[in-house]
Structure 1
């Protein structure tokens, strides 16, 4: 089973690249952002709770995120593997993901991280706000807070995977095709 953590700051291109990797490797895409947005749009209890944090650019608490993700994984017992997009965002979440996958007799194959400079991220997020109508991408203060939260709380997760020899940094700047090629050249060696 091929299980990938697609990692990178907001605006790095995780969603775009996930779509390409899903098709190539026949994986199930699990995006915590998409799952949260679905729940917020449908005004579920989880959506209402998540909205309180997301609108401020903060992380949704680990317990809520982990329980939600476990439920999504269990919906796909036939999966050949998963792309985890936007998860784990903390070291406790990384440990919880390892435990969840261990209970399924599998593990994370690799963390592939899209590395993009901060000024490029800000430009991409502003563009995404215009093209997709995502309000969380329109406010410069929220964008900066999301990047700051990523740097302080999420970026250290890469150390978790470095310690397991599963971390692969990928240059996330360039054409979509070039970035996909860089990703697949790493994944094909796993």
Structure 2
């Protein structure tokens, strides 16, 4: 059975770290929207050029363009045995579009790993990164905005029975043990 995985969680919760461990252990491609945009723009695909025009103007890339780029990426051979989506879907419309594009390929999402941690843990972690613009107020605002976006997606996947909450505040290796438990039970 393929492992088609979505990673959810607030900034600082450790999604990137866990994604790297999943890639290493399960040999799945890690697909992040930022990487996909850069690749599509570098390859000057039609959708890549569209995305570039929005980004160059300082605008968000609309769902239809983002969905198209994700669909192009998921059609590539290296995703046949599964994939890790990170940063997508960002809203319910994208989650529904993802469901439809996978259904066309006879696939679906097997697991959504929802990494959670208390905001104070996340603020501490993000402060430790040492970015100049990362004040506690800015970080808290970012967490609030991301939380408002993430919760409906978590509920969407919980309703489908594929959401797995993982305590991202634990030690990195303990978090990965929880990830392995979920993924190994997928078959």
SS at match of 2:21: helix
SS at match of 2:98: helix
For residues 71 and 38 of structure 2, the distance between their equivalents in structure 1, rounded to whole angstroms, comes to 17
Q: Identify the residue that residue 102 of structure 1 maps to in structure 2.
A: 103
1:67 partnered with 2:68 = yes
Q: Identify the residue that residue 30 of structure 1 maps to in structure 2.
A: 31
SS at match of 1:107: coil
Q: Deviations over 1:21-60 (max 9, x none)?
A: 1121121111123445667999x7524634735xxxxx75
Q: Identify the residue that residue 164 of structure 1 maps to in structure 2.
A: 160
SS at match of 2:77: coil
CA contact 2:33–2:70 (8 Å) conserved in 1 = yes
For residues 21 and 40 of structure 1, the distance between their equivalents in structure 2, rounded to whole angstroms, comes to 27
1:155–1:61 CA distance, 2 compared to 1 (3 A): farther
CA radius of gyration, larger in: 2
Give structure 2 stretches of 5+ with no counterpart. Answer: none
For residues 139 and 41 of structure 2, the distance between their equivalents in structure 1, rounded to whole angstroms, comes to 19
Runs of 4+ in 1 over 4 A off after TM superposition: 36-42, 139-142
1:49 partnered with 2:54 = yes
Q: How far is 1:5 from its partner?
A: 0.7
1:141–1:18 CA distance, 2 compared to 1 (3 A): same
| TM-score normalised over the length of structure 1 | 0.80
Query: Which structure 2 residues correspond to residues 1-190 of structure 1 after superposition, within 5 A?
Result: 1-36=2-37, 45=49, 46-47=51-52, 49-50=54-55, 52=58, 60-76=61-77, 79-130=80-131, 138=134, 142-190=138-186
Instruction: Give the CA RMSD over aligned residues.
Output: 2.9
What is the number of residues matched between the two proteins?
180
SS at match of 1:156: helix
For residues 182 and 50 of structure 1, the distance between their equivalents in structure 2, rounded to whole angstroms, comes to 37
1:78–1:179 CA distance, 2 compared to 1 (3 A): closer
SS at match of 2:88: coil
Q: Deviations over 1:41-92 (max 9, x none)?
A: 99x7524634735xxxxx7532232122122222335531011111111111
CA contact 1:41–1:47 (8 Å) conserved in 2 = no
Q: How far is 1:120 from its partner?
A: 1.6
Give structure 1 stretches of 5+ with no counterpart. Answer: 54-58
